[in-house]
Amino acid sequence: MRLRIGIAQLNSHVGNLNENLNKAKKAFKFAEENEADLLIFPELFLTGYPPEDLVLKTGFLNDSRNFLKQYIDYTYGSDVISIIGNLDFEVDAYNTAYVIYNGKEEAKYHKIYLPNYSVFDEKRYFSPGKQPLMIELKNGLKIGVTICEDIWVPNGPAVELAEMGAHVIVNLSASPYTKEKPKSRLEMLKTRAAELSTWLVYTNLIGGQDEIVFDGGSVVINPFGEIEHSLPLFDEKVDFIDIDPISSTRANLREGKRRHLLYDNHNVEIKIIEKEPNKKRKILKGNKRVNLMEKYEEIYKALKLGLEDYIHKNGFSNVVLGLSGGMDSAFVAALAADAFGSDNVLGVLMPSQYSSRGSIEDSILLAKNLEMKTHTIPIRRTFESLLKELKVAFEDLPMNVAEENIQARIRGTIVMAFSNKFGYIALATGNKSEVATGYATLYGDMAGGFSPIKDVYKTEIYKLAEYFNKIKGKWIIPENIFIKAPSAELKPDQTDQDKLPPYEILDAILERYIEYEMSIDEIVEDGYDIETVKYVIKLVDLNEYKRRQGAPGIKITQRAFGKDRRMPITNGYKIWR
């Protein structure tokens, strides 16, 4: 006996119920054409994930219910069972998987384990479910239903489902991307399937949603923890595989793992569906090869997908950014040109009396290589005019950071002028090293509607730029940008290292302090100078107010600034004193 399973690894759009419904219908029709027995969608697919405070709107809850009904009606007359994620609302709201068959809601499962860490706030919005769900087909085949976090928890509902004889456990997921997470997630899923002696069908969401990127990587794993089918990272796909569900019984008889499970009083809802898998068809074999990516290819794909979806889902088609001749703006321009096409990217050069000839030439060469449009707007006269107006108020005090920031704010004003005039979204180009230490100007180079590299350390930007040139097969980002010392060029002979440690040291300290929450003593134990560590931590702590006002950007680390890392601005805990 074979069970044909369809995996709908699709990109949903939060709040766009009609678009999501149409994608669900298209996937369902495709499943019918491929004679699937079962079609699995990602978590909360119809509403998009995460819906956040939309869940608090009764109108949205009612609309999501109406669109679910439209999907249910669409399935009438079909022999495909589908399991789709949507909201449920009774006394409270629930993150729900609906089991649909032949125009009818056969069962629904409320997610039991609600994550409330990192970017997750599910306990703010949902009540937890109380009962696992098992579907039993006419021939006795048992399919357990879980949602995302349920499978991450070692003693979650999958354990009870396995003990009750589940041949297959499906998991509707919306698991966000972070660096190298696809590999660790895959290892967890393999372990879970093997320890429960059951087939595991994992369907993950794809696409960008504000700061979050969902990377897909859906898999089917057999009861021995071996991959039988895999879908690509960062791409939409609906695909199918035939599995032998009874192999889970054979695995358990051979290894007896389920005999050691601890549940005594079972609380599983069992729903019988009068369906039997089609026996007369050619067996579809799976793609057993998992295409895990090299580190910087993976990060690049995540950034590109996150940027594409943020721009397009918010109704934009063109972007504008300042070109300084430095690595950050060069990489963001290259990323944007790759994502949207060079014709839809506008670069603005804004040289001052402190801009080096090399930086201007590098920007021009970059734009030529990318075949993107540019405008050059010198800022010297505007800057000098403002200094003249401020001369009396400034009382002939020596020039300091105030005059430096005026230049950055002039540039920010010009970029935003292009944004307003032509309806382009402005991209900020600050990296995580700068954002962390406050080495950026509020309302200046921080100005923009989106900040695609705000969670990427400076040292990683160079690696990503190398990767970009490698995939293009030539020096698109000019060689000189890699060689010259980073500089804001806001005063004569300025470099970043006038105020910051070398980036190799800075980034290592930042990673330990921000992502791993290490103390000063713990970071020093790793071999870093105590005064340097204190200085870096001081910069991070004092610039929380800046980060709170910055544009959103793509999360790729375990602790990204924004909704992920939530530190108080008014904070008397100063460990660097």
Of 8, 159, 37, 162, the C-alpha closest to 97 is: 8
Distance CA 122, CA 85 (A): 15
* 138: CB partners within 8 A, 6+ apart: 272, 273, 274, 275, 276
Do residues 147 and 85 make contact, with C-beta atoms less than 8 angstroms apart? yes
Looking at the chain, the number of H-run helices and the number of E-run strands are 19, 19
3-state secondary structure 217-279: CCEEECCCCCEEEECCECCCEEEEEEECCCHHHHHHHHHCHHHHCCCCCCCCEEEEECCCCCC
Q: Where are the alpha helices (DSSP H) in 120-170?
A: 122-125, 149-152, 157-163
Collapsing DSSP states into helix, strand and coil, what is residue 295? helix
Distance CA 174, CA 45 (A): 9
Query: Residue 242 forms beta bridges with which residues?
Result: 4
93-101/81-89 β-pairing? antiparallel
Q: How far, in Å, are 19, 437, 506, 532 from residue 500 at the CA level?
A: 47, 9, 7, 9
Q: How far, in Å, are 188, 195, 263, 311, 485 from residue 260 at the CA level?
A: 20, 10, 9, 51, 61
**385-419 burial code (b ≥16 CB/10 A, e <16):** ebeeeeeeeeeeeeeeeebbbbbbbbbbebbbebb
Give catalytic residue positions: 43, 111, 148
Q: How far, in Å, are 67, 105, 121, 128, 516 from residue 93 at the CA level?
A: 16, 18, 13, 9, 34
Please state the φ and ψ torsions of residue 174, each to the nearest 5 degrees: -135, 80
Distance CA 536, CA 3 (A): 57
Write down the residue that tokens 């010392």 correspond to.
Answer: 485
Residue ranges with strand state E in 296-431: 319-323, 345-349, 373-376, 425-426
Do residues 383 and 390 make contact, with C-beta atoms less than 8 angstroms apart? no
Torsion 533-537-538-539 (CA) sign: positive
Residue at 425: amino acid letter:
I
Collapsing DSSP states into helix, strand and coil, what is residue 409? helix
Write down the residue that tokens 């357990």 correspond to.
Answer: 144
Distance CA 42, CA 44 (A): 6
Q: How far, in Å, are 31, 72, 145 from residue 108 at the CA level?
A: 21, 13, 9
212-215/219-221 β-pairing? unpaired
